[in-house]
A and B are shown apart, each in its own frame.
Chain A
């Protein structure tokens, strides 16, 4: 079945470079979320898209982080001028509707390593 997919699965980059992480949500899901999972930590909320509404960017840690969702489907998380502290697993999730829909389906994540 078609679950949430993310690419690449692993990304190694040099400090100062920009990276783009991609998320393909489950078809028909209107809500899409990005989380960051650092080693030994829980899931840190980054950004949330719901339909055509303005995204909730309250979790983005700095202005180096941005995300867009094109056509209400695929989303790209961009990190500019990467820093070593950006190293983490970036998880994407989708659901049928907004926060009130508790069944968020997660992708396998992108492991980002900044050297």
Chain B
């Protein structure tokens, strides 16, 4: 089935640093989503992207829908301890009723 390659698998950063993670696909996607999962919780939607080239911000988070429609990145600026968690990318290849495909996640640790 569909595969999303998400990298890096894990990151250890100092508080205040900026973070970047990305997702690539072998297929063209028409929707990219970024979720965050805290320990013991379900994923929560952070940002949704619907157009190639689209750049969207949510506070300190910024995500972009790649021009090729096969990739997306998520940046977090000035990281804080509560940014710790697992970040998942997810995408959909066609409009309409197709399942979301999820990446394997990027585990972020922030060192105060």
Contacts and interface: CB of A to CB of B under 8 A. Distances in A.
| Chains A and B belong together in one complex | yes
Interface of A: 4, 35, 40-45, 48, 50, 56, 58-59, 91, 93, 98-100, 102-109
Nearest to B89: A42
Contacts of B31: 102
Nearest to A103: B45
A56 B97 contact: yes
B59 interface: no
A40 B108 CA distance: 13
The 8 closest A-B pairs by CB, nearest first: A106-B42, A42-B102, A43-B102, A45-B99, A42-B104, A99-B97, A102-B48, A106-B43
A contact face: mostly helix, strand, loop, or mixed:
loop
B26 to A, nearest CB: 16
Contacts of B82: none
B33 A102 contact: yes
